């Protein structure tokens, strides 16, 4: 059964789209939100010629703005998208964030927020029977430009039984 509220950052949307597995998100997560900043980042990428998902074509995805801007962490190295994802996570206790950025994940952890990343989505998709194997998807993600450390990849492959 899909989980409750999930708040997604730009990179998981972009990379899952690039490797043709964006459809996994609505299969795994019941309610998906992105902050306005993530939509803006996707639009900026499209203007630069990057092949990005068109938010308006994703009926399972809702765009929202954080209600409490003061919740957005004031860390200069954190992008606006990550900051708004964390702010929405703080506004919605019990939600799950989908973040790949190491600093954003550290801040989420310090704030007691639940999170996963693109590889976590792929692993969960295999566990739920939506993917037969994760290895080709991981290599496709790397080929699309997602930086994945060898240790992390080995861990995910072990968890997937591959």
Q: pLDDT digit string (tens) for 86-125? A: 989 988 989 999 999 999 999 899 989 999 999 999 999 9
User: Starting from the edge strand earliest in sequence, which strands make up the sheet with 114-116, in order?
Assistant: 61-64, 29-35, 3-8, 96-98, 114-116
DSSP count for the chain of H helices, then E strands: 8, 5
Which stretches of the chain are assigned E, i.e. beta strand?
A: 3-8, 29-35, 61-64, 96-98, 114-116
Identify the CATH number of the domain in which residue 63 sits.
3.40.50.1010
Residue 41: which domain range?
3-159
pLDDT value of residue 77: 74
For 63, the 3-state DSSP assignment is strand
pTM: 0.90
Query: Is residue 29 predicted with pLDDT exceeding 80?
Result: yes
Q: How many residues does the chain have?
A: 162
């Amino acid at each position: 059964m899909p989980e409750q509220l999930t708040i997604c950052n730009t990179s998981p949307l972009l990379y899952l789209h690039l490797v043709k597995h964006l459809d996994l998100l609505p299969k795994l997560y019941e309610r998906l939100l992105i902050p306005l900043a993530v939509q803006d980042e996707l639009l900026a990428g499209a203007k630069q010629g990057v092949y990005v998902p068109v938010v308006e074509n994703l009926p399972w995805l809702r765009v929202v703005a954080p209600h409490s801007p003061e919740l957005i962490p004031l860390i200069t190295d954190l992008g606006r998208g990550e900051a708004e994802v964390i702010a929405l996570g703080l506004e919605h206790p019990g939600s799950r964030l989908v973040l790949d950025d190491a600093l954003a994940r550290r801040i989420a952890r310090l704030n007691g927020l639940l999170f996963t990343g693109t590889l976590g989505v792929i692993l969960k998709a295999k566990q739920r029977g939506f993917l037969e194997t994760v290895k080709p998807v991981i290599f496709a993600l790397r080929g699309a430009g997602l930086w994945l450390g060898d240790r992390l990849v080995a861990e995910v492959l072990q968890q997937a039984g591959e």
